[in-house]
Structure 1
């Protein structure tokens, strides 16, 4: 993660920013934070989770929409670009023809841990997502072989940790049949 600071940008300038490259950035209080490219396993897990959640959404006729890496969330002073974001149909319609930035909490956010940035997912993003009121937040940690699901209970996240061999229990996707092994061996 590299912070680029030529001069501080306004949020409006960020919405129209183009440096002529394929680099992806998050906005942090006027500064651009370059997002480093993920490793192949990270992307494979993200693709697998998007597929599973989309399939579950279609089978259960939920009005949710599943997106990967493209939707940003405004946390109050910065944007975050989660690996997987589950939003309402109305939220999708709201961003269909403009910058894909949510100003209201999505239903569920998933981050796949990059080992060098574990503290960001487990501390910074956890705190920001909780303060935003995101009802469910998953942290998938392939290196530790765990999936943590944080569920909002009276304004505070409660953590449930699932290890290899265990079935994931999601408050949003209550009937989903998915194990930690399925996620970490995504194929």
Structure 2
């Protein structure tokens, strides 16, 4: 997935109402729009597997949560990211007919690494998600064949890497029974 940026500087309000007449999705980074290209099929299958497993746990535990894709998370004054998956509390949806961008922390965010998103996913989003207070952040890396789970502790992320047949440990979903191998196979 390659990224394209615009030259015009946008405010967060401009971003909320931006429509270029296409189905393109953009992240906002310091006032610039960054085009998010469509995912690969591998990427889409990983999203599907994780979303289905998260939803199954939410339903099993009868939690007031939702697993959503393609919603934004405002991370600073002129920044908004679009995690591949966000787990949110239903109460975070205040108004249904406005841009799907949270202005509060999701419960969990997942990013799936592509060659072009490596730095964004491992560095920028890690720091932005910690500042906004997302308690758990997963980085699924098909290139390195690992899943990194970052847990927010006193404002900073502590990370644990999982590989192969290791069961992924999650504070959000402690009984989730998924291995890295299962996730990467989608």
**Helix, strand or coil at the partner of 1:33:** strand
How many correspondences in the alignment?
A: 183
Q: Is the 8 A contact 1:95 1:101 kept in 2?
A: no
Q: Is the 8 A contact 1:45 1:183 kept in 2?
A: yes
1:4 aligned partner: 6
| Deviating more after overlay: 133-142 vs 30-39 | 30-39
Q: Structure 2 matches for 1:14-163, cutoff 5 A?
A: 14-69=15-70, 71-76=71-76, 77-91=78-92, 93-163=93-163
Structure 2: segments with no counterpart, 5+ residues: none
1:107-149 alpha-carbon deviations (Å, 9 max, x no partner): 0000000122211111010011111111000000011110000
Deviation at 1:95, TM superposition (A): 4.3
**What is the TM-score of this pair, normalised by structure 1?**
0.93
| Deviating more after overlay: 56-65 vs 95-104 | 95-104
Q: Give the distance between the partners of 1:10 and 1:144, measured in 2 at CA.
A: 36
1:21-64 alpha-carbon deviations (Å, 9 max, x no partner): 22111122322111122211011101111111011110111111
**Helix, strand or coil at the partner of 1:94:** coil
CA RMSD of aligned residues (A): 1.2
Ranges of 4+ aligned residues in structure 1 off by more than 4 Å: none
